[in-house]
Amino acid sequence: MNEMSKLAAGRISLAHGGGGKAMHDLIDQIFAARFKPQSREDQARLKHPALLEPGAQLAFTTDSFVVSPLEFPGGDIGKISVCGTVNDLAVGGALPLWLSAGFILEEGFDIATLVRIVESMVCTAEEAGVSIVTGDTKVVDKGKGDGVFINTSGVGVIPPGRELLASSVKAGDVAIVNHRLGDHGAAILAARGDLALSASIASDCQPLNGLMEAVLRVAPHVRAARDATRGGLASSLNEIAQEAGVGIEIEEKLLPIHSEVRGVSEILGLDPLYLANEGTLVLFVPEAEAEAALSAMKATSAGHQSAIIGRAVKDHPKRVIMQTLFGGRRIVDMLVGEQLPRIC
C-alpha cells in the first residue's frame, strides 16, 4: 500500500487534530487532494467581478450538520452540508460562490467513510457550481462526538436590485413549493431502521440555486423564499407570516406529498408539514408572475414537482391556516418540541 491508501484504510486518532505531522498528512491526503485549495495559507483569497458591481451585496451564512445516520437514501452528511449552505444563500437571491468546510472528527472514526463523505461534498459542490475554498479539522476523544460533524459556511453575491425579504410578502401573493414535502425526514427515519419503508423514499437533498435563478429570470418580483428544512414547511410559513404580518392560507389537497410519506406519518403520528426537507423551498410571488414562476420551476430538475399550495391573505395576520381535505380549517402552528432529532 502506498502512504495514501494506508491512511485511508485507517481510523482517526487524536494526533490527526494535533497540528503536527499526522494532521498535515490527513489534510494533504484526504482533504487537499480532493478540495484542491489554491494555497496553504490560513485563509482563502478570492476575487469575483460580481462583488465589484455597485449595489451588489455580499451574502454570508453558516450551518453545522450533525445528521444521524451519516449516510441515508438520497444523500449523506457531506451532500447535505453543501446543499444546506448553498440553499441558504440561494433563497436570499444570492449567487453562491464559495464554501468553507470545518470537520469535527471523533477518535476512532473510519477514514474510508470520511473519504466517501468528502467525495460527496466535492461532487455536490460541482453540481451547484461552488468551490470549497478553505477548511479546518479538529478531533475529539472517543465518546465526545459522533463520527463526524461538518460545518459549512458560504459566501455569495446578491446582484444589485434584488431584495428578497420575508417581510415583503403581501396579501394576494401566491405560495409555491418545488418538491414533495417531508421526503428527507422520512428517509432519515427509514435509515435509522425504526420502521420498514420501501426504498422508494429518498431524501430530497439537492442544491436549489439553479432553480432560484430560473425563477428570478421570469419572475423578478419574487418577494421571498425559504428553505423548508428543520421544522418543515409549517415552520417556514409561520416565519414568513410573522415577519410579513400577513395571514397565510394553504390547501391540503394542493400539497405534494408522497403516498408513503403520508402513510408513515399517519402511523407514527407525525405530520408531513413539519417533516424536514433538504431541497425544498417555498416562495411567495405576486399573482401576476405566479404562472411564469411555476413554469420556470417545473422546467428545472429540482422543481418538476412544483405546485401552488396557497397564498398570503389579509385575514388572520401572522397565522397559517390550512383548508383540510375534509373541508375543515385548522391552524398550522409553529412546531412545538420536535419530531426527529438530528435530522440535518
φ and ψ of 98, to 5 deg:
-130, 140
101 is a contact residue toward its own copies (CB under 8 A): yes
Interacting span for its own copies (CB under 8 A) from 186-194, 214-222, 290-298, 329-337 = 329-337
Cell of 12: 482517526
Residues 165-224 that bind its own copies (CB under 8 A): 165-166
Report the relative pairing of strands 174-177 and 281-285 from DSSP bridges. antiparallel
Q: Of residues 6, 192, 217, 342, which one binds its own copies by CB under 8 A? A: 342
Q: Closer CB to its own copies, residue 251 or residue 334?
A: 334
Closer CB to its own copies, 57 or 295, in the complex: 57
337 scored as a contact of its own copies (CB under 8 A):
yes
Rounded to an integer, what distance in angstroms lies between the CA atom of residue 327 and that of residue 146? 46
- Interface residue with its own copies among 29, 124, 151, 203 (CB under 8 A) is 151
* Whole-number Å distance between alpha carbons of 50 and 288: 29
At its nearest, how many Å lie between its own copies and the CB of residue 198?
27
Choice between 32 and 292, CB closer to its own copies: 32
Is the Cβ of residue 51 or residue 292 nearer to its own copies in the bound state? 51
Q: How far is 228 from 236, CA to CA, in rounded Å?
A: 6
- 97's CB contacts (< 8 A; 6+ apart) are 46, 48, 50, 130, 131, 155, 156, 157
List the one residue from 71, 110, 127, 136 that touches its own copies (CB under 8 A). Answer: 136
Q: Which of residues 226-255 bind its own copies (CB under 8 A)?
A: 226-227, 229-232, 235, 239, 243
Q: Which is nearer to its own copies, 120 or 235 (CB)?
A: 235
203, containing H or E segment: none
Residue 12 interacts with its own copies (CB under 8 A): yes or no: no
Site for its own copies contains 155 (CB under 8 A): yes
Per-residue x/- mask for its own copies, residues 263 to 282, rule CB under 8 A? -----------x-x------
Residues 59-88 that bind its own copies (CB under 8 A): 59-66, 88
Residue among 53 and 287 whose Cβ is closer to its own copies: 53
Distance CA 39, CA 45 (A): 9
Query: For residue 103, what are the β-bridge partners?
Result: 137, 150
Query: Of these, 8, 22, 202, 292, which contacts its own copies (CB under 8 A)?
Result: 22
> Smallest gap, in angstroms, from Cβ of residue 62 to its own copies?
4
Q: Angle at the Cα of 37 (from 151 to 149), degrees rounded to 5?
A: 20
Of the CA atoms within 13 Å of residue 38, those in its CB half-sphere come to 11
Question: How, if at all, do strands 281-285 and 224-227 pair?
Answer: antiparallel
Q: Do 44 and 99 form a contact (C-beta atoms < 8 A)? A: no
Tell me how far apart the alpha carbons of residues 333 and 271 are, in angstroms, rounded to a whole number.
12
